[in-house]
Structure 1
Amino acid sequence: MTQQVEIGRGKTGRRAYALDEIGLVPSRRTRDPEEVSIAWQIDAYRFELPVVVAPMDSVVSPATAIEIGRLGGLAPLDLEGLWTRYEDPLPLLEECAGLEAEAATRRLQEIYNAPIKEELIGRRIEEIRASGVTTAVRLSPQRTVQYHKAVIDAGVDIFVIRGTTVSAEHVSGRAEPLNLKQFIYELDVPVIVGGCATYTAALHLMRTGAAGVLVGFGGGASHTTRNVLGVAVPMATAISDVAAARRDYLDESGGRYVHVIADGGMGTSGDIAKAIACGADAVMVGSPLARATEAPGHGHHWGSEAHHPDLPRGRRVRFGTVGTLEQILHGPSSVADGSMNLMGALKRTMASTGYSDIKEFQRVEVVVAPMQR
């Protein structure tokens, strides 16, 4: 039953739960971790890891996109980042990592003020494609109409349309908004869209023909969306609501399955396991992989919200480095805080609770168990 909480005489709100407020319950059966599969498939593309890397310059470059693909995941390149604004952004990425905290936001705004060069879009996509891994890129809804042709012409495999909030019914008096349903219908590649955080918004996005929906906004480690806009939805509840929309849309559409990808608010392997338990098919993470020695941010992490020209809603965060991408994803781990061997931990969680694959694991029992600090 939905629990309505009285905030005051004139306002009530639904009780929602964050990932660190729930726990997973072991069943009567356990398994050997080696017998657990964490693979998933979206459209014609199969991935051995349920990991989509957040399209942020501090984490994804053409080189790291290729390495993540080799390791079994998917890493969309941000086509509104430095890799399409500069021929060689490596010196600027190094500068971004070395900025003093109080000067970081202003300098990021200056660096990202350079125009996007359309010829670089094709060049970056071709660089990733040449490696043989699945190629994905990200654009915001505001830039999709302008640059999507260059993306498709370059031969991208998966198109990600990602913003703080993406709706199927955006209203604008300044310009014709992106018609998601028509846009997706006319493309020959699967499209992942988001974020959203409610049952209704997710259902509308699924009806546009999207292959996947991103769940969440304002919850990332480098975001300040909650402070700046007051917008935030606890991830356990958001994922569960969107998973319910997936179930109902499956019936409504006569069997069309839309993948749910939890986006943000997952800093440890335990968070990833709980997100999938709540109904996610995969997770989109940034900060855990920003700690990799290969990450372009050199141990620092920031997203597109951090350099918004008018209203920044993020910050550059220092995490330091803990190991290589392979060690963070596959181990071995040398720490006990859930920041390394993310996929090994997920397999062990599934084995400990008795489930053999992602879809089965979504049925695991969940309890409300606020973390003791």
Structure 2
Amino acid sequence: MSNEIEIGRGKRGRRAYTFDDIAVVPSRRTRDPQDVSTSWQIDAYHFDLPIMAAPMDSVMSPDTAIALGKLGGLGVLDLEGLWTRYEDPTSLLAEIASLPAGQSTARMQEIYAEPIKPELITSRLRDIRNAGVTVAGALSPARTQEFSQQVIDAGVDLFVIRGTTVSAEHVSSHAEPLNLKRFIYELDVPVIVGGAASYTAALHLMRTGAAGVLVGFGGGAAHTTRTSLGIHVPMATAVADVAAARRDYLDESGGRYVHVIADGGVGRSGDLVKAFAVGADAVMIGAGLARASEAPGQGWHWGPEAHHPQLPRGERVHVGTAGSLEEILFGPGTRADGTLNMVGALRRAMATTGYSELKEFQRIEVVVSPYAGSSRPATDG
């Protein structure tokens, strides 16, 4: 049965759903939250929490990456951000947080015009390694070949190649594109790559040998991709489509499992729950962790798209401060808006529906139930 609808006589489109459009259905069984496991393993690396921090300067510094690692998650440092352009960017982070709205984009473009220093890539990753937590760094596809050796030399555990959209078949008439399959094959560390937002794109990324695929395109709180490029894929449908690609690739490859990581639209605990319900193995969170009192953005949130030198496709948004990093993950919650105790909410949802493992929870029944309440804030990505 097709769920395509007619847009006009000459065009049809498939109906797609956001996390707000769906809801989880309770089952016949319930459990104690203490009996629920939220652990996650990718390759040889085991985590108590299925949570990755988005590689954004407003979210991750070396110190916050270490703090998240010690709490059981995975911090991913942006290796093209301020921490690899400046020896000490703390004053610049404070300046970005204090900029008037009309001046933020232009000033950020100036700040991020400073060249990336390869020695700082090595230094920052070694600092994280010396703290005894799993080390992860992210580069865009355009910079991966240029700086990948510094990343490997620093002893990175997981390598993230993250862009607004990443394909296994990039075509360029001006430069030699990154051969993703060969690059991953030649590396000694697992690679997580994305974003992808469709079954076909994800299947091609899985065939490159990636250990995980980031799912998302233009759905984050700081993105304006839908308004600037007209491109956007609702996250519930995107994750479910990529989960189907994971299933089919498992059969195609004879048992190779590629992890699906929801990246975008997961700003509150209810979004976290529904990301797993439609098939995610883990989530990458930006705005939700930018609300931590330790976050470098000081209550503001932005991604690399916000300071693109030619075509900004994002903006600096105010997300406020909800609590410490530990309170955001584990509580106690002092408000009922899904910003605090996100892991506790996930445990409670799994227990309420009778599931003890995330892999099992992926099979939970969901319904299409568009959110009928008042509009949510625009900072929920």
- Bin for the TM-score computed over the shorter chain: over 0.9
After TM superposition, the structure 1 = structure 2 runs for residues 1-373 of structure 1, keeping only pairs within 5 Å, are: 1-373=1-373
Code of the aligned partner of 2:240 = S
User: How far apart in 1 are the matches of 2:252 and 2:138?
Assistant: 29
- Displacement of 1:342: 0.2
What is the deviation of 1:85?
0.3
Query: Aligned partners of 1:73 and 1:218: how far apart in 2?
Result: 24
- Tell me the secondary structure at the aligned position of residue 17 of structure 2: coil
Cα distance in structure 2, aligned partners of 1:303 and 1:4 = 33
Distance 2:360 2:241 in 1: 18
1:138-173: CA deviation from partner (whole Å, max 9, x where unpaired): 000000000000100110000000000000000001
Deviations 1:305-343 (A, max 9, x none): 000000000110111111100000010010000110000
Q: Supply the distance in 2 between the matched residues of 1:346 and 1:100 (Cα, whole angstroms).
A: 37
Mapped to 2, the partners of 1:285 and 1:268 lie a distance apart of 9
Q: Secondary structure at 1:337's aligned position in 2?
A: coil
Q: Secondary structure at the match of 1:75?
A: strand
Question: Structure 2 unaligned runs (5+)?
Answer: 374-381
Inter-partner Cα distance in structure 2 for 1:349 and 1:37 = 12
Identity of aligned residues (%): 71
Letter in 2 for 1:216: G
Name stretches of at least 5 consecutive residues in structure 1 with no aligned partner. Answer: none
TM-score, L = length of structure 2: 0.97
Deviations, residues 102-137 of structure 1 (Å, cap 9, x unaligned)? 000000000000000011010000000000000000
1:45 CA displacement: 0.2
Deviations 1:69-100 (A, max 9, x none): 00000011000000000000000001010000
Structure 1 residue matching 2:75: 3-state secondary structure? coil
Q: Distance in 2 between matches of 1:368 and 1:320?
A: 31
CA distance in 2, matches of 1:331, 1:70: 16
SS of match in other structure, 2:5: strand
Deviation at 1:2, TM superposition (A): 2.8
CA shift, 1:277, in A, is 0.4
Residue 76 of structure 1 aligns to a residue in which SS?
strand
Work out the CA distance in 2 between the residues paired with 1:101 and 1:148.
35
Structure 1 residue ranges, 4+ long, deviating more than 3 angstroms after superposition? none
SS of 2:29's equivalent? coil
Q: In the aligned structure 1, how far is the partner of 2:78 from the partner of 2:277?
A: 28
Give the CA deviation at 1:44: 0.2
For normalisation by structure 1, the TM-score amounts to 1.00
